[in-house]
Each structure stands twice: as structure tokens, then as C-alpha cells.
Chain A
Amino acid sequence: MPTIAKTGNEAMAEAMRQIDPDVVAAYPITPATEVVMIFSQFVADGLVGTEFVAVESEHSAMSACVGAASAGCRVMTGTSSQGLQLMSEILPIASALRQPIVLCEVNRALSGPINIHCDHSDTMAVRDFGWIQLFSENAQEAYDNILQLVRITENEKVRLPGMATTDGFIISHCMEKIESLDDAEVKKYIGDFKVIKSTLDLDKPITLGSLDLQDYYFEHKMPIVEAMKEAKQVILEVGKDFGQRYGREYGLIEEYKLADAEIAMVALGSTCGTARAVIDELREKGVKAGLLKVRAFRPFPAEEIVKALAKVKAAAVLDRSDMFSNQGGQLCCEIKSAMYDLKQKPLLTNYVYGLGGREISLEDIRKIFAEQQGTASSGKVKQAVQHFGVRE
């Protein structure tokens, strides 16, 4: 297993080279530009057999992906922020057609004002389109998540498209040491693409995307509901198998020093790394602090999160996006919803933070944990939703 220095974008592009998809249709956008730029160099150098479609917009990129997947191809693409928004008309079509398209998404704030740095508002905005969403904490996870997504999305019980995300610039442009797999090992790991239906199959011609009104639209949405249920188990199986093969096991969530924790932090993506460092400090001082990292946001691991937080007194749920619903961020809302039936709930404080790439430091995390200690001892949440780190 070679150890290499890669940025998040390079790691995702490397995974794409090793996967060698049949078709990649993409349009460049900061901070995801490099993913497809590096990959297009692989195409130009003849290192992959991929048909690379250099389209004129992300709307066309996702449309070309759907067309290629309809023909029975293994398809990938990459984008960010406004690009993902421009794709959004086509994203639910990919899931309705049950196409295992894999998307390298680099989280970036949505305009306006225009901003190129990390928050999760772009990925959260497309959370209800039937796509699997995995968040990565670092470049290693970005690489591993892309490889696993091929297996997850192509599983016959799932067959839904999926995106693995990194945090813009924080992961996408920072160089880290990662362990990659050998090319031959990746080939073996992902296996051959299994075509279920193809518009190019002349022996069994099919129609796709026909008009579907009051009589059948509802029925056609149910397989997505069912596939998302199945996806939870498949993500667990694939993550466990990945661990057995290569030593890095993955689940729907990851617990860090959470088993006996009294106060906890719940977060997505790169902030989890910062939280770990502070938790180590606090543990040395005898404070029982822990982390719950949410890796899969779609499907949402409601039962797993409830179980993991069951014994915690107070938890800070960190959202790098706001829904503008007066209810805080998406992650906290879903967690609160998952806890509705619990008799004894942990005290949750929602911290909306880091919008537009606003730095979250070790000191910030220390402050949040200190507030959780206060909440745990007083038994009262001071302010259910806080916009953390913003100037008044």
C-alpha cells in the first residue's frame, strides 16, 4: 500500500484514475476544479480509458452523466457550490432512474455574497434528492469514501447516486499523507460494472423518463425510499469490509471517546479533526468529553446517533450551514427530530458556525465544550441556536 502526499482534490482525482470510469462529464468550479482538471490530464495522457465530456455547464454535466448512466456506463463527476446548484434540476432524475453516479463534491458556501470557501450550505441544499451523502474528515477519508461509494451505489439493493464531500480548501487544497491502494487492488475491489438496464440494448429496448402523473408518480418514488433504507446496511457492510481488507473501518457515524462521555460534540467533516485535539486535552484534565462524527448524512443514521448520544448530558451540535427557518442548521434539526420519542434526552445546543469559511479554532472548540460543561451542570440550555463566531 503506497503512502503518498496528496491534497483532498488530488486524492479524489487519484481515486477516479484508479476507478477508471467509462464516462466523466464535468465543468470546473473552485475549489473542485482540480479534481476534474487533474483527471482530464490522466485522460489526455492515456492513463484511463474514460470518455471525458467537457461540457458547457454543470447542468449539462449532470445531464450527460444521466445519459451515459442510462446507456449502462460507470459514471463520475465532480463539482462544488454553484455548480451543484446548477446540477440540482437533474440530481433527482439520477436517483429516480436508480443510477449509481459518483460525484466528488467539495463543500463551498453558496452565493451571495459570492464566496469560495468552505461551508456545507451547497451539499445541504441538495440533501432531499435521493443521493447518498458521505462527509470526509480529511484527504484519506475522501479517497476511501470515493472508492467505497462505487461499491455502495452499485450495490443492487441501493443503486442510487452518491456524493462524497470534502471541505473546500481545508481538505481540498491541504496536503496530507494518505495511504492509497495499488491500481490492481482498486480494480479488484470495485469489480466490473453490472448493467441492469440500458437504452442501448436493442434486444430489450426500454423507455426512460416517461410522463408519470397522479396514477404512478407516487409509486415511482417508493423504490428510492426503500433503497435509502437498504443503503444504511450496505454502507455499514462496505465500511466493515473496507476495514478488514485495508485496516480502515468506516460506519455511518464514528464515536471518539464517547462511550463514557458526559459532554459531547457532534459535527461533520474537517471540524471533527479539530474537535479530537481538544477532546484529548480535556480528557487529560479529567473532563469526560467525546465526539460524534456523522459520516453519512443521507441516509440519515437517526437510530445510531440517538443510541450514541443516549448517555450524554449535554451536546453541542455543529452546523456549518443555516436553513433560515429559525430552527438552526440541518444536522441539529434532524438529530432533534430523531430524539422526539426519547424520554430522557441530552441537552442539545446548536452552533451554526464557520459560514463562508470562517475559521473554527482549537480555542473556539474549547469555548464550546466549556459551555457544554455549564449546560450539563445547570441542566438548562442557555440558547438553543447560537450563531457562533459572528460579529455583532
Chain B
Amino acid sequence: MKKNMGWKELDFGDSVNAGTAAEFHTGDWRSDRPVFHKENCINCLFCWVNCPDSAIILDENNKVAGIDYRYCKGCGICDTECPTKKEKRALTMEPERK
């Protein structure tokens, strides 16, 4: 979307095209990041279903492939929902600054 548009440039009736959240990189201000461990993933897709920013990347076979850090804001819901056991975690949270 163009920035600082004048009122004559706006869409009609306070409407905007849907899906503009894709242009907004919510991953800019993350303090913790989820790290994906593919070898432990059971592909239950709980993380994918629960992610509020659609930041879980699936491959062509609908298996979890990783995290889209452009949108992941580090809320940790994926880590909380991930049912894998403590010693074989598919997702772990790590601080951005160590």
C-alpha cells in the first residue's frame, strides 16, 4: 500500500482491499523466537492451526517446513500447543538477544 495517501486517493467508503496484513511485517519486534526441529515434528499441525499470524510454513505435502520470521511475532503459542515430549521437542523458544 502507498504511504501517506491524500483523501482523494483513498478507496471508497472507508474500505481497503482485504489481505493487507501481508504487507505488515509483525516479526519486526520479536523478543523470543520459536526454533523448529524438523527431526522431532509429528506433523499434527497444531502450531499451524493456532498461529495468529499464519507464520508456520508448510511444504508441498502439507508438512511443517519452518517458521516465517517476517510475520512471527514470537508469541509462543506454537511452542505451547506443540504436543511433542520434553526431550524431543519440535519447537523451542529462544531469546533473540543472548
Contact = CB atoms under 8 A, between A and B. Distances in A.
Contacts of A208: 13-15
Nearest to A219: B7
A98 B14 contact: yes
A196 B6 contact: no
B20 interface: yes
Interface string B32-61: 000000000000000000000000000000
Contact of A206 (B7, B10, B16): B16
B5 A197 contact: no
A207 B17 contact: yes
Given A219-B7, A222-B7, A205 B17 contact: yes
A210 interface: yes
Contacts of B14: 96-98, 208-210, 212, 220
A159 interface: yes
A223 interface: yes
A219 B16 contact: no
Specify which of A209, A212, A216 lies most central, judged by the most chain B CB atoms within 10 Å of its CB: A216
Interface in B47-81: none
B95 interface: no
A330 interface: no
B13 A98 contact: yes
Contact of A196 (B10, B12, B17, B18): B12
Contacts of A97: 13-15
Given A196-B12, A197-B12, A219 B17 contact: no
Main secondary structure of the interface of A (DSSP, over half): loop
Interface string A212-228: 10011011101100000
Most chain B CB within 10 A, of A96, A210, A219, is at A219
A223 B15 CA distance: 12
Interface size class of A (residues with CB under 8 A): 20 to 34
A223 B10 CA distance: 9
Contact of B13 (A159, A204, A210): A159
Contacts of B6: 219
Interface in A256-304: none
A211 B97 CA distance: 32
Given A219-B10, A220-B10, A223-B10, A206 B15 contact: yes
A148 interface: no
A212 B7 CA distance: 13
Interface string B1-28: 0001111001111111111100000000
B54 to A, nearest CB: 16
A215 B4 CA distance: 7
Contacts of A96: 13-14
Nearest to B15: A206
Nearest to B19: A205
Q: Which of A99, A207, A210, A215 has the most CB atoms of chain B within a 10 A radius of its CB?
A: A207
A379 to B, nearest CB: 47
Nearest to A221: B7
Interface in A197-249: 197, 204-210, 212, 215-216, 218-220, 222-223
Nearest to B10: A219
**Max chain A C-beta neighbours (<10 A), residue from B5, B14, B20:** B14
Interface string A67-99: 000000000000000000000000000001111
A207 B13 contact: no
A212 B11 CA distance: 14
Contact of B12 (A98, A212, A218): A98
A254 to B, nearest CB: 32
Given A97-B13, A196-B12, A196-B13, A206 B18 contact: yes
Looking at B5, B6, B12, B15, the one whose CB has the most chain A CB atoms below 10 A away is B15
B7 to A, nearest CB: 4
Contacts of B16: 206-207, 210
B13 A205 contact: no
Interface in A98-146: 98-99
Please provide the 5 A-B residue pairs with the shortest distance between their CB atoms, ordered closest to farther: A98-B13, A205-B18, A222-B7, A219-B7, A206-B15
25 contacts: A97-B13, A97-B14, A98-B12, A98-B13, A196-B13, A197-B15, A205-B17, A205-B18, A205-B19, A206-B11, A206-B15, A206-B16, A206-B17, A207-B16, A207-B20, A208-B13, A208-B14, A210-B14, A215-B4, A216-B5, A216-B10, A219-B5, A220-B10, A223-B7, A223-B10
